[in-house]
Amino acid sequence: MKHKKTVLITGTSSGMGRATAVYLAKQGYVVYAGTRTPHKLFDIQSENIRPIHLDITDFQNIEKALLYIPKIDILINNAGYGLVSTVEDVTEEEMFAQFNVNVFGVLRLCKAVIPKMRHQNDGIIINISSFLGKIGLPLLTFYNASKYAVEGITDSLRYELKDFNIRVHSIMPGFFDTNFAKDNLVMNAKTFEEDSTYATLVSTLAPTIVEQINSGNDASEVAQMILEIIEKEDSPARQTAGDKAKKFIPMKKELSDEDFERRVRAYYHL
């Protein structure tokens, strides 16, 4: 590589963010590893991996962090978590927080980075969405809505930024064995009460989803896909990663909404 390209990734203390930081650094990229907890990156810190404190819910903090980054060639919006709640039980705070991180966090980073990319007439933005950005599931309405929004952001920005030579892509992972189920699923207390109106649904679905995440694909698969998108100018707008996404997304495209829903109901016993 002639000149080392600079990457900013959000949410790098674990999972796909961390795996991508390590993988891209090995390929010679300079990675600014955005995180709320820089101390968790001490073991991977190097000339090519530079941990940087980043709170994606705070625009001023983002602007301050960007002062330390001379140039951003690639932005990877990866940070996110999953709220597990029925719609009737959710609190105002929980529902706002889900969008504040998964949607407004992405938009804040884009807002801060786009002017830099526009001035250099060059840039790539990769949003880590989910296959649940195209497929709904009960108890995951807020996570679904946030990831559907990320898909919309990707589609709109592709038009908005095309003239400035800024490419925008999304990756829709299926289930991946990261810290997601262990640390980053937030359960609504009422939905998960033993005598909840939704107790049957919770006991049917929640353990299965957790199990599927914990036995999911390896985060390195997403890291490799990200490298491919960076290096191939004609990469598709969006791609699926992992077994479950590769199974369900094509099925969703082929079947009617109702037939697809029947398949999902049968699969998850809903």
Ligand X SMILES: NC(=O)c1ccc[n+]([C@@H]2O[C@H](COP(=O)([O-])OP(=O)(O)OC[C@H]3O[C@@H](n4cnc5c(N)ncnc54)[C@H](OP(=O)(O)O)[C@@H]3O)[C@@H](O)[C@H]2O)c1
Report the C-alpha gap between 36 and 162 in whole angstroms. 31
Q: Shortest approach of ligand X to residue 72 CB, angstroms?
A: 18
Report the C-alpha gap between 125 and 225 in whole angstroms. 14
Work out whether 216 is an interface residue with ligand X (CB under 6 A): yes
Which of 161, 226 has the CB closer to ligand X? 226
120 in Cβ contact with 98 (< 8 Å):
no
Report the C-alpha gap between 170 and 270 in whole angstroms. 29
Identify the DSSP state of 217: B
Specify burial of residue 166 (Cβ count, 10 A radius: 0-12, 13-18, 19+): buried
* Positions 224 through 263 that interact with ligand X (CB under 6 A): none
Which of 123, 216 has the CB closer to ligand X? 216
Work out whether 23 is an interface residue with ligand X (CB under 6 A): no
198 is catalytic: no
Q: Shortest approach of ligand X to residue 46 CB, angstroms?
A: 17
Task: Assign 251 to helix, strand or coil.
Answer: helix
* Positions 51 through 70 that interact with ligand X (CB under 6 A): 56
Which of 38, 164 has the CB closer to ligand X? 38
Identify the DSSP state of 242: S
Q: Give Cα 207 distance to the centre of its chain.
A: 22
For Cα atoms 254, 140, 256, give the angle at the middle one, nearest 5 degrees: 15
Selected catalytic residue, list 13, 85, 146, 170: 13
Residues 6+ apart with CB under 8 A from 165: 121, 122, 123
Report the C-alpha gap between 112 and 49 in whole angstroms. 21
Work out whether 37 is an interface residue with ligand X (CB under 6 A): yes
Q: Of 62-70, 76-84, 189-197, 261-269, which segment contacts ligand X by CB under 6 A?
A: 76-84
Work out whether 123 is an interface residue with ligand X (CB under 6 A): no
Selected catalytic residue, list 32, 85, 116, 129: 129
Which of 57, 120 has the CB closer to ligand X? 57
* Positions 134 through 163 that interact with ligand X (CB under 6 A): none
Work out whether 175 is an interface residue with ligand X (CB under 6 A): yes
- Count of positions on this chain that bind ligand X (CB under 6 A): 29
147 is catalytic: yes
215 is catalytic: no
129 is catalytic: yes
Report the C-alpha gap between 257 and 88 in whole angstroms. 24
Work out whether 215 is an interface residue with ligand X (CB under 6 A): no
* Positions in the binding site for ligand X (CB under 6 A): 11-17, 35-37, 56, 78-81, 101, 128, 130, 173, 175-176, 178-180, 183-184, 213, 216, 219
